[in-house]
Amino acid sequence: MSSGKCHEQATACDHCDWVNVMPSMQAGEQLHCARCGHLIVTCHPNAPQQLLSNGCAAVLMFIMSLCFVFLGFSSQGSHQRITLLDCVYGLMGEHYISLGIIVALTLLVLPVVYLSAVLLIALALRQGRLKSIHYGLTHTISALQPWLMVDVFLLGGLVALVKLHSLAEIELGLSFWAFCAFTLCLFRTVSFVDKRWIWHCLCGPAPTVAVRSGSALSQGLKGCQYCGALVSADTHQCSRCHHILHQRKQGSLNNTLALLFASCALYFPANFFPIMITTFLGSSEPSTIMGGVILLWGMKSYLVAGVIFVASILVPVTKILMLFWLCWQIRFGHGEHEKPTQRIYHIAEFIGRWSMVDVFVVAILSALVQLGPMMNIIPGVAAISFAAVVILTMLAAMSFDSRLIWDKSEEITI
């Protein structure tokens, strides 16, 4: 497979549990699930080299983005410049330590850990020197990928610039452009990561089992959601990647509902209290999320106002309602319209992280606009509540097992 060809084997779809036979595939070909259409595996041409080149480029751009000025602005003779790290230090300095930790993890720590794991695996695959440590690195890649938010931070930076444009002269530093390049390189690296391909290269073909058309559960099998191997239902640990196996995610609906109720409880203070407090010439003006949207609309920044409204108001509410509806469908539905139902889940899973844009806007402005009593911006109490809402809804989507949608149609009791 590392030479650009996938060997024939069977695997269960992560999203609907349908058993798909994987035919011999050439580099550049993809295999989609025969039942739900989900992408199962992609055979990327020369994938180890692509991972190495794009990953190294991302690391280089990341280092450059830390070394120079990220943003700057001038207002009434006062000048202020910040680096990327100042976005974290600014929150820490205002005693928003938990918010600073969230920004540091999503912006700095997790991308570095992810890229390090990818580069080590790609180097090992290219040299053919595979060790047990690479199993843990591959699990790390799968776990961290949903939390890579550098593109959301970049959007937050653009929104912050628009907010300041009417008040000051804006400067885009060298690190800003390096960070743009880092974002592109990182997600090009992500596009070449295929977990089934990696596990095949690490461990060889999955164990052979007798299969027929149908779901893995209906055939007395379990599908490993990490490496794609099929094993018998009484097996508790995957023989290929050593991951602990369950027929379905344990307590999926209860965990999802608990996280959703917690996010609902935090959503109200996140919108009621100010997310940002602006001081201008000694006068402080708190701003809620909706207040910021109205202010931007009044400034005729219609596009940015629309982005904030969609990301911070519409998306969280829509995602929460979607997940509640999915849980209701599993409990009380009749097992119909599985594909549209699963599509709703995919939408809810995809849109959630974009709500973090308002948190990043606050982080950037808190670091950049610090001119003493003349003008400064600090986070409001709603910032941490809103960040918690985003994280909880993401965890709720991750805890939901979409295979339950298809179990309902097959009348399988788990």
Assess contact for 383 and 99: CB atoms under 8 A.
yes
- Residue 126's alpha-carbon distances to 12, 17, 53, 116, 187, in angstroms, are 28, 32, 12, 15, 21
60's CB contacts (< 8 A; 6+ apart) are: none
Given a cut of 50, whether residue 8 has pLDDT beyond it is: no
pLDDT band at 298 (very low <50, low <70, confident <90, very high): confident
DSSP 126-188: HHT---THHHHHHHHHHHHGGG--HHHHHHHHHHHHHHHHTTSEEEE-HHHHHHHHHHHHHHH
Confidence of residue 115 (pLDDT cuts 50, 70, 90): very high
Per-residue model confidence as pLDDT tens digits over 243-272: 888 888 888 999 999 999 999 999 999 989
Nearest 5°: phi and psi at 206? -70, 155
Question: Cα–Cα distance between 162 and 295 in angstroms, integer?
Answer: 12
CA pseudo-torsion sign 188, 194, 197, 198 = positive
Per-residue pLDDT at 370 exceeds 80: no
Reported confidence tier of residue 1, pLDDT bands at 50, 70, 90? very low
Domains of the chain and any CATH numbers: 249-414 (1.20.140)
Enclosing H/E stretch for 33: none
- Output the six-digit token pair for 52: 């190495």
- Cβ 173 vs Cβ 69: under 8 Å: yes
Give residue 282's pLDDT. Answer: 65
* Mean pLDDT of all residues in 182-200: 89
Cβ atoms of residues 112 and 66 within 8 Å: no
Q: How far apart are CA 374 and CA 389, in angstroms?
A: 33
pLDDT recorded at residue 233: 80
Q: Read off the pLDDT of each residue in 335-343 and give the average, rounded to a whole number.
A: 82
Output the pLDDT for position 161. 83
pLDDT over 90, % of the chain: 28
Q: Which helix (H) or strand (E) holds 360?
A: helix 357-368
CA distance linking residue 127 with residue 198, whole number of Å: 14
Phi, psi (degrees; rounded to nearest 5) at 333 = -75, 180
What 3-state DSSP class applies to 242? coil
Per residue in 76-105, pLDDT (tens digit) is 667 778 888 888 887 887 678 888 899 899
